[in-house]
């Protein structure tokens, strides 16, 4: 292989090693728990089993695509060096090679099958909601969220972006509060237009559509604050519609529920989704 080819392969090897180091650290030096970090280009740090699987699948695809790219690059370099007019003045007249044609048909099929198996497994993990320990109904409105707790006294409250809270554009006046290590079923709908309930650290993203009840789930494995945003263009203040979830232990959650019942008590006639209602 010529000097140019060795240089290209050397640069590709350096890039692959750098990518491997980044994947190995998981971007932990840059990402903060439950929220985006400045200049972030990796996935957010995982806070749920679903997100753990998403991160694994992402890394698996990244490595696979990198290997395929390097393989194609190597073939191109070999062709350029070996089959140029100077090195090969008499061109080959070969028109068919059965082995190569079988290989370039069979190998991509096997690669796609290898990708599809974990892909479907992840899809089923997201859609097959396990028995819920807590149900929260999230209603998207222009431009804020309302949360209802039908399993805990059917109280409801609004959650609006707070100008005086950090992080900027993500802090809210009333956070959704859930217990740690519990299966939380989130039922979403829209009061006016289509919104989308998205929490990157939990691997959650689902539409909130007027007249329709969708649902998803997550199981937070670490206490702390987690942030997301509406991910469907819903009007002029779409960018100011954050989602904030505070994950606490069981005792703190029980105390919060008792306080919330008093704080958000109302005599309204809102309709709440039942814990066993159908979805999608």
Q: Return the H-helix or E-strand segment holding 230.
A: strand 224-230
Which of the two residues, 139 and 91, has the higher pLDDT score? 139
* pLDDT above 80 for 250: yes
* pLDDT above 70 for 9: no
CA dihedral 102, 62, 118, 202 (to 10 degrees): -160
* pLDDT above 60 for 8: no
Q: Return the H-helix or E-strand segment holding 64.
A: helix 49-82
List all residues 6 or more positions away from 168 whose beta carbon is below 8 Å from its beta carbon: none
Cβ neighbours around 204 below 10 Å, total: 23
How far is residue 57's CA from residue 54's CA, in Å, rounded to a whole number?
A: 5
Please report the pLDDT score of residue 265 as a whole number: 77
- Helices and strands (H and E) in the chain: how many: 4, 10
175-232 pLDDT per residue, tens: 999 999 999 999 999 999 999 999 999 999 999 999 999 999 999 999 999 999 999 9
CA dihedral 100, 105, 108, 114 (to 10 degrees): -120
101-155 pLDDT per residue, tens: 999 999 999 999 999 999 999 999 999 999 999 999 999 999 999 999 999 888 9
> Considering only 82-96, 192-206, 216-230, 239-253, which range has the smallest mean pLDDT?
82-96
User: Domain residue spans in the chain?
Assistant: 3-88, 134-263
Specify the 3-state DSSP secondary structure of 3: helix
Residue 257 near residue 152, CB atoms below 8 Å: yes
Q: How far apart are the two ends of the chain, measured CA to CA in Å?
A: 57
* pLDDT above 60 for 256: yes
Residue 104: how many CA atoms within 13 Å on its side-chain side?
A: 7
Closest CA to 141 of 161, 155, 127, 167: 161
* CATH superfamily to which 134-263 belongs: Cupredoxins -  blue copper proteins (2.60.40.420)
Specify the 3-state DSSP secondary structure of 13: helix
Please report the pLDDT score of residue 194 as a whole number: 97
Task: Tell me what the pLDDT averaged over the chain comes to.
Answer: 84
> Considering only 91-95, 132-136, 166-170, which range has the smallest mean pLDDT?
91-95
Q: Which of 80-89, 260-269, 270-279 has the highest mean pLDDT?
A: 80-89
How far is residue 41's CA from residue 27's CA, in Å, rounded to a whole number?
A: 9
């Amino acid at each position: 292989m010529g000097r140019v080819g060795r240089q290209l392969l050397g640069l590709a090897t350096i890039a692959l090693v750098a990518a491997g180091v980044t994947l190995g650290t998981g971007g932990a030096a840059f990402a903060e728990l439950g929220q985006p970090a400045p200049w972030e280009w990796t996935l957010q740090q995982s806070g749920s089993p679903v997100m753990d699987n998403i991160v694994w699948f992402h890394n698996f695809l990244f490595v696979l695509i990198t290997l395929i790219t390097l393989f194609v690059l190597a073939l191109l370099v070999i062709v350029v060096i070996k089959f140029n007019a100077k090195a090969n003045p008499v061109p080959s007249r070969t028109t068919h090679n059965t082995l190569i044609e079988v290989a370039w048909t069979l190998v991509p099929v096997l690669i796609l099958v290898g990708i599809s198996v974990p892909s479907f497994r992840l899809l089923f993990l997201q859609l097959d909601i396990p028995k819920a320990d807590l149900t929260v109904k999230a209603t998207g409105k222009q431009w804020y969220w309302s949360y209802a707790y039908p399993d805990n006294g059917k109280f409801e409250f609004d959650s609006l972006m707070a100008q005086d809270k950090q992080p900027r554009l993500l802090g809210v006046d009333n956070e959704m509060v859930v217990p740690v290590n519990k299966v939380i079923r989130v039922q979403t709908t829209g009061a006016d237009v289509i919104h989308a309930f998205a929490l990157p650290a939990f691997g959650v993203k689902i539409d909130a559509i007027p007249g329709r009840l969708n649902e998803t789930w997550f199981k937070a494995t670490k206490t702390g604050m987690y942030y997301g945003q509406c991910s469907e263009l819903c009007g002029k203040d779409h960018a100011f519609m954050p989602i904030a979830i505070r994950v606490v232990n069981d005792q703190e959650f029980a105390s919060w529920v008792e306080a919330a019942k008093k704080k958000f008590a109302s005599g309204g006639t809102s309709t709440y989704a039942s814990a066993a209602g159908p979805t999608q």
